[in-house]
């Protein structure tokens, strides 16, 4: 840099040309010039990472391409990076890290706080499906409760609103109004004078609350179970309530006891070592054992390949459901 350029640079900084205060932004990584002899760097891609310290329900470890549940995982931490192809979940418990394709039927995306998609305000029980996107905002799909008989709705959602556990919130039911009943096909609009709306094909007579009536339109509150709906319907469709009750959703609670581990001689390794799962003649690497994590090395059976030894962790998070066994390579245990 020439002396003149240096003087101008110092004057610019001294006069307040540099930005003040903390500013957070998504920026591309700097690209090195070829003259510097360094390969150009690719801009870092924005990611949507959803994690939970403890999952509400059990997850099941499987071999790739196989639906059989081999090991039940309970009370584990989970982390999933949306946008990976396919999305993969990382499960952690007691120093053991396991990798699986994102089992959406078991680890489900929910919302952290009351969230509205279309006409639906989601409860803590509602489940959304990730469709696309991997940055600050992603596209999700929501399938309303079956009792509403409605098509799914797709909408953008902030990544920060997603969670892998039930949100810690409760939607407050609206007070006041007159109890009514809806049945059959109903079109719900968000505003009274909207010309189009969302069609519900109610699978059974559904109790609702009439909140307001203006001309031939009525504003109603509907509790679908996993979502609340407040919108306008044709007043002619409302009938007197005939004693039906709103659907109830009970929380699912699951527990798993400790397994005995007295008299176990634990092995510890100075470095992370790969962990595999063996079942039915197949062996597949499924994760790793973190350095310093205690585990028991067991005697090999006739079915175990000569280069592997079975291991056991003896804690409540892992519960085998079959003859599947965790395995490590003998060579990886050298120095442990």
Contact between 279 and 308 under an 8 Å Cβ cutoff? The reply is: no
In a domain, 321, yes or no: no
Q: Of 81, 101, 121, which residue sits at a domain end?
A: 101
C-alpha pair distances (Å), 56 with each of 40, 52, 78, 119, 173: 44, 9, 11, 28, 25
Confidence of residue 158 (pLDDT cuts 50, 70, 90): very high
Per-residue confidence (pLDDT) for residue 45, from 0 to 100 = 60
CA angle 83, 84, 86 (to 5 degrees): 115
Contact between 162 and 151 under an 8 Å Cβ cutoff? The reply is: no
Q: Provide the H-helix boundaries in the chain.
A: 3-14
Interval 73-93 mean pLDDT = 85
For 4, counting Cβ atoms within 10 Å of its Cβ (0-12 exposed, 13-18 middle, 19+ buried), the class is exposed
pLDDT of residue 259 exceeding 70 = no
Q: Of 189, 211, 240, which residue sits at a domain end?
A: 240
pLDDT of residue 329 exceeding 80 = yes
Radius of gyration over every alpha carbon of the chain, rounded to an integer in angstroms:
28
Instruction: For residues 289 and 276, give the distance between their C-alpha atoms in angstroms, rounded to a whole number.
Output: 10
Give 44 or 163, the one with higher predicted confidence.
163
Lowest mean pLDDT among 23-37, 60-74, 232-246, 262-276: 23-37
Q: How many CB atoms lie within 10 A of CB 67?
A: 7
Per-residue confidence (pLDDT) for residue 263, from 0 to 100 = 60
Per-residue confidence (pLDDT) for residue 83, from 0 to 100 = 79
95 shares its domain with 114: no
Confidence of residue 160 (pLDDT cuts 50, 70, 90): very high
59 shares its domain with 91: yes
In a domain, 84, yes or no: yes
Q: Of 192, 219, 240, which residue sits at a domain end?
A: 240
Q: How many domains does the chain have?
A: 3
Give 289 or 39, the one with higher predicted confidence.
289
Per-residue confidence (pLDDT) for residue 247, from 0 to 100 = 35
Instruction: For residues 126 and 145, give the distance between their C-alpha atoms in angstroms, rounded to a whole number.
Output: 9
pLDDT of residue 173 exceeding 50 = yes
133 shares its domain with 92: no
Q: What is the CATH number of the domain that holds 193?
A: 2.30.30
pLDDT digits (tens, 9 = 90+) for 189-204: 999 988 889 999 988 8
pLDDT of residue 25 exceeding 80 = no
In a domain, 117, yes or no: yes
160 Cβ partners below 8 Å, 6+ apart? 112, 136
Instruction: For residues 214 and 151, give the distance between their C-alpha atoms in angstroms, rounded to a whole number.
Output: 28
In a domain, 233, yes or no: yes
Confidence of residue 171 (pLDDT cuts 50, 70, 90): confident
Give the structural domain span for 215: 178-240
pLDDT digits (tens, 9 = 90+) for 60-81: 988 888 888 999 998 899 999 8
In a domain, 270, yes or no: no
pLDDT of residue 285 exceeding 90 = yes
In a domain, 144, yes or no: yes
Terminal Cα distance for the chain, rounded: 55
Determine if residue 43 is left, alpha or beta; phi over 0 gives left, psi from -120 to 50 gives alpha, anything else beta: beta
Contact between 145 and 224 under an 8 Å Cβ cutoff? The reply is: yes
pLDDT digits (tens, 9 = 90+) for 111-146: 999 999 999 999 999 999 998 888 889 999 999 999
In a domain, 147, yes or no: yes
In a domain, 123, yes or no: yes
């Amino acid at each position: 840099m020439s002396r003149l350029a240096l003087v101008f640079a110092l004057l610019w900084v001294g006069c307040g040309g540099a930005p003040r205060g903390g500013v957070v932004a998504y920026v591309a990584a700097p690209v090195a010039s070829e003259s510097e002899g360094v390969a150009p760097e690719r801009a870092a891609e924005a990611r949507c990472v959803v994690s939970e310290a403890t999952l509400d329900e059990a997850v099941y470890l499987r071999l790739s391409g196989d639906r059989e549940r081999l090991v039940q995982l309970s009370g584990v931490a989970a982390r999933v990076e949306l946008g990976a192809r396919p999305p993969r979940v990382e499960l952690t418990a007691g120093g053991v890290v396991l990798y699986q394709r994102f089992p959406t039927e078991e680890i489900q995306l929910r919302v952290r706080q009351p969230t509205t998609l279309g006409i639906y305000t989601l409860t803590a029980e509602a489940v959304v499906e990730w469709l696309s996107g991997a940055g600050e905002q992603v596209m999700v799909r929501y399938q309303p409760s079956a009792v509403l008989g409605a098509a799914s709705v797709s909408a953008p959602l902030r990544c920060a609103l997603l969670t892998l556990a039930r949100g810690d919130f409760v939607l407050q039911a609206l007070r006041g109004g007159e109890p009514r009943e809806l049945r059959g096909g109903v079109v719900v609009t968000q505003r009274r004078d909207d010309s189009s709306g969302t069609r519900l094909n109610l699978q059974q007579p559904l109790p609702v609350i009439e909140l307001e009536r203006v001309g031939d339109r009525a504003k109603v509150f509907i509790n679908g179970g996993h979502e609340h709906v407040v919108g306008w319907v044709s007043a002619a469709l409302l009938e007197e309530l005939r004693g039906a009750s709103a659907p109830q959703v009970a929380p699912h609670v699951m527990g798993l006891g400790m397994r005995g581990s007295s008299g176990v001689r634990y092995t510890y390794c100075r470095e992370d070592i790969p962990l595999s799962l063996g079942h039915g003649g197949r062996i597949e690497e499924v994760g790793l054992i973190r350095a310093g994590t205690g585990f028991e090395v067991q005697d090999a059976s006739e079915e175990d390949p000569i280069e592997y030894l079975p291991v056991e962790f003896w804690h409540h998070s892992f519960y085998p459901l079959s003859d599947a066994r965790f395995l490590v390579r003998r060579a990886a245990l050298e120095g442990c």
